[in-house]
Each structure stands twice: as C-alpha cells, then as structure tokens.
C-alpha cells in the first residue's frame, strides 16, 4: 500500500497542491502536465504561477512524459473540466485499464452537459471515482488540516483507496454516491457566484446564511433527479464544500460574484485571471439540467440569468427576495 504510485494529472493550483500534500506525507506521487514549458518552469523554479508563495519540494517528480502515466497505480485527474475531454483523448491509451481514476475537478462539461465521471466511463473501462470536499488549494499545499469525500460505486474500493490517500493533515472519507458527490462539488461553484453577489451588494450575513441553506436544498433536489442520494448534500462534499466556498472571498467563484455586484463586467474580470472559474460554464449546464428534470432551483436560475442573459443584478435580487415557498422541508 505504501508503494502505490499516484499520478496527478494537471499542473494547476489543485493538482499541484495535492501533489505537494501527498509528497510531504511520504507517498509515492508524481505530477504530470501536458504543457512542457510549464513543467520546465515548475521543475526549474519550484514555484507555481497558480499557487503564489507556495514552494514545490525539489524531490517531487514533475513530468510531461506521457509514458509516465502508464506507470501509475492510481490516477487523480485535476484538469479543468472544459479541457478534460481533449486531454483524455490524448492520454487514454496510456492509462492501464485496471487502475482507478479519481476525478478531482469540479464542474459540469458544456458539450455533453454531463459530469466528468460520465465522460470517463464512456471512454475507459476503469473504475471511476470522485474526490471532493471543502479544500482550498493553498491550504492543502501548506499542510493545514482538511478533509474530503472519496466516492466510488464500489464502497469497498472507496474505503481501500481512502486509506491509500489519507494522511494526518488530509482526511479522506469513503462514500458510494459518485454522481451526488460530483454534482455537489460542481453546483457549489454556481452558488458561490450568488454568494459573492450577496457580499458585493452588502445584503448581510443573515441573507448569506439563508442563501447557503436554500441552495443546499436545490442541490439535493438535482442530485436526486439525476439518481444520486439526497443525503450526499450533508457530507463534506456537500454542505462542507458549500459553506467553505460561499463564505470566503478566496473562492474564485465568490470573488467573481462580488466583482459583478460591484459593477465590473464579466469580460474584464476573466481577463485579469489566470485560474479557471468553473462556476461560469457549470451555471449554463446546471440551468439546462434543472429545466430538463423539472427541478425547482430559483438560485441556479438567477445565476444563469446574470451570466448568460445579462439581467441586471438588482432585478435578480429583487426577484429572489419576492420568491417564497409555503414550506421549508419537502
């Protein structure tokens, strides 16, 4: 178990942070990236442009050699969701067919309007799982205590791999609901944009707590509609990640909502960023899903209207405030 070779695919902030965390816990890990020039930079400078102020240990292997993927025992996929299909086509023939693949990216794919697990299951025979939780990359890289949910349809496999990944500063809890964990991680990015609007408009902590709570209900409804377990919304991957992301300006999605509420254009905000803000694309897919499955989700609708219709934020806020269900629990 100690000799299990973990390959993390993706040299962005999350992939790099996971690699540092596992390496510092004395696990056998390598970081793989497609962009040769970035890999050279990471190897030479031992600093990532996506994780400012974070040092990459000199003994952590970083490579762009595609054949190194074939030496893996476990693959953690930390590539942005909208770039994943193209990269999977490039590397899938190098992935041993028996090894587990764990999706660490959070979002819904625009072209297929599906979670990444569906994309991987259609492309490969491997067992596919999802790792998701309240995890800011910079804190994981620093070794601060954190926890996450690991889901495989085979719960015994999830338990086995959770033991292989966990260490003192990073707890990993097994779960069986792959689609639920994946949806919760994706949808919280959409909700975080709404939470940023609440912050940017200075609507108060009461409003923010209400938004998070009602959003958790929306997430639960969509999870159930797509065949997941409603209780998944109460896990680390559900309410845990939702609270973290929606209550901190460190979140790229929350900070996007703040900037929009303060009058900046979406185009200008994105021009100033290096990291991907997954909630933007996910909001479009989530909107289509809730409509297709007839799920009551006014907050997801509101974020979509702001991003894709250009509806004035003040009008969206007023519409939400005037919306009231008769009872809280369904």
pLDDT in tens, 177-198: 999 999 999 999 999 999 999 9
Would you state the structure tokens that stand for residue 13, as one six-digit string?
Answer: 């902030």
Each residue of 109-128: pLDDT tens digit?
998 988 999 999 999 999 99
Segment 222-237 mean pLDDT: 96
Task: Give the chain's end-to-end CA distance (angstroms, integer).
Answer: 44
Among 5, 92, 188, 250, the one annotated catalytic: 188
Q: How confident is the model at residue 1 (pLDDT cuts 50, 70, 90)?
A: very low
Domains present along the chain, CATH in parentheses: 5-176 (3.40.50.720), 180-321 (1.10.1040.10)
> What is the full DSSP assignment across 262-284?
TT--HHHHHHT-SS--THHHHHH
pLDDT of 18 over the 50 cut: yes
Both tokens of 37, joined, read: 């020039």
Residues 6-34, mean pLDDT to the nearest whole number: 97
Residue 223, pLDDT score: 97
Residue 92, phi then psi, degrees to nearest 5: -60, -30
pLDDT digits (tens, 9 = 90+) for 244-298: 999 999 999 999 999 999 999 999 999 888 878 899 999 999 999 999 999 999 9
Residue 329 has what pLDDT?
67
Catalytic residue status for 188: yes
- Given a cut of 60, whether residue 64 has pLDDT beyond it is yes
**Sequential DSSP letters for 117-131:** HHHHHHH--S-EEEE
95 within 8 A of 75, measured Cβ to Cβ: yes
């Amino acid at each position: 178990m100690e000799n299990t070779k973990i390959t993390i695919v993706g040299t962005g902030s999350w992939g790099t942070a996971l690699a540092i965390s596992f390496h510092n816990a004395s696990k056998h890990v390598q970081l793989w990236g497609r962009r040769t020039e970035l890999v050279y930079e990471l190897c030479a400078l031992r600093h990532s442009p996506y994780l400012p102020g974070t040092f990459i240990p000199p003994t952590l292997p970083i490579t762009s050699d595609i054949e190194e993927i074939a030496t893996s025992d476990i693959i953690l996929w930390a590539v942005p969701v909208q770039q994943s299909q193209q990269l999977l086509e490039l590397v899938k023939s190098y992935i041993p067919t028996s090894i587990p693949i764990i999706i660490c990216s959070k979002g819904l794919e625009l072209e297929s309007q599906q979670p990444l697990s569906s994309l991987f299951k259609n492309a490969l025979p491997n067992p596919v799982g999802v790792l998701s939780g309240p995890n800011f990359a910079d804190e994981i890289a620093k070794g601060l205590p954190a926890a996450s949910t690991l889901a495989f349809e085979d719960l015994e496999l999830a338990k086995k791999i959770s033991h292989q990944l966990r260490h003192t500063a990073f707890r990993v809890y097994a779960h069986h609901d792959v689609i639920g964990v994946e949806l919760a991680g994706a949808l919280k990015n959409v909700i975080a944009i709404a939470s940023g609007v609440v912050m940017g408009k200075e609507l108060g902590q009461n409003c923010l707590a209400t938004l998070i709570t009602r959003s958790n209900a929306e997430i639960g409804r969509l999870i159930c509609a797509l065949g997941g377990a409603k209780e998944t919304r109460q896990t680390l991957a559900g309410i845990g990640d939702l609270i973290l992301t929606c209550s901190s300006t460190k979140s790229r999605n929350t900070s996007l909502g703040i900037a929009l509420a303060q009058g900046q254009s979406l185009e200008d905000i994105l021009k100033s960023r290096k990291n991907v803000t997954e909630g933007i694309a996910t909001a479009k897919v989530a909107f289509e899903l809730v409509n297709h499955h007839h799920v009551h989700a006014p907050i997801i609708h509101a974020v979509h209207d702001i991003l894709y219709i250009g509806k004035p934020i003040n009008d969206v806020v007023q519409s939400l405030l005037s919306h009231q269900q008769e009872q809280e629990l369904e």
